[in-house]
């Protein structure tokens, strides 16, 4: 439980920093891009891997999935999808592929982490609009 609380606080801190750093674009755009991008960040990835207690093989595959999700988001944006739609497709891509790699317990934790992040994103958007 202590690890989960620390991970949640770290995720909230990272999302707050991304809002402060990117004042030239719309808040929705900066968060959506940073959320998908930060999953590929080494520190963030290691935090997620530690939280989920992933094996070496699982880490390797999940790192690939996260990088492919970023490509999915970019590809959808190029097709003309809104940032929100592109981010949603990337998240579903992550969830669908993670389900094949993680155990049931790990997957449930991962879904909870994604849900919490998306929930916080929506609350932050309401505060900043």
Residues spanned by the domain of 37:
2-128
User: In total, how many domains does the chain have?
Assistant: 1
For residue 23, pLDDT beyond 50: no
The top-scoring range by mean pLDDT among 4-13, 23-32, 68-77 is: 68-77
State the chain's mean pLDDT as an integer.
75
pLDDT for the residue numbered 22 = 41
**pLDDT digits 0-9 by tens, 35-84:** 777 777 888 889 999 999 999 999 999 999 988 988 888 888 888 888 77
For residue 11, pLDDT beyond 80: no
Indicate whether this model's pTM tops 0.95.
Answer: no
The predicted model gives 13-29 an average pLDDT of 44
Are the C-beta atoms of 52 and 110 separated by less than 8 Å?
A: yes
């Amino acid at each position: 439980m202590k690890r989960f609380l620390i991970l949640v606080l770290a995720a909230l801190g990272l999302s707050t920093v991304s809002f402060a750093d990117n004042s030239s674009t719309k808040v929705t755009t900066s968060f959506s891009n940073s959320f998908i991008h930060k999953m590929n960040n080494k520190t963030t990835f290691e935090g997620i891997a530690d939280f989920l207690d992933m094996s070496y093989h699982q880490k390797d595959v999940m790192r690939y999935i996260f990088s492919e999700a970023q490509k999915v988001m970019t590809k959808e944006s190029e097709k003309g999808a809104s940032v929100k739609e592109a981010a949603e497709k990337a998240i579903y891509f992550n969830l669908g592929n993670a389900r094949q790699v993680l155990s049931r317990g790990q997957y449930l934790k991962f879904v909870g982490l994604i849900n919490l992040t998306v929930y916080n994103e929506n609350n932050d958007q309401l505060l900043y609009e």
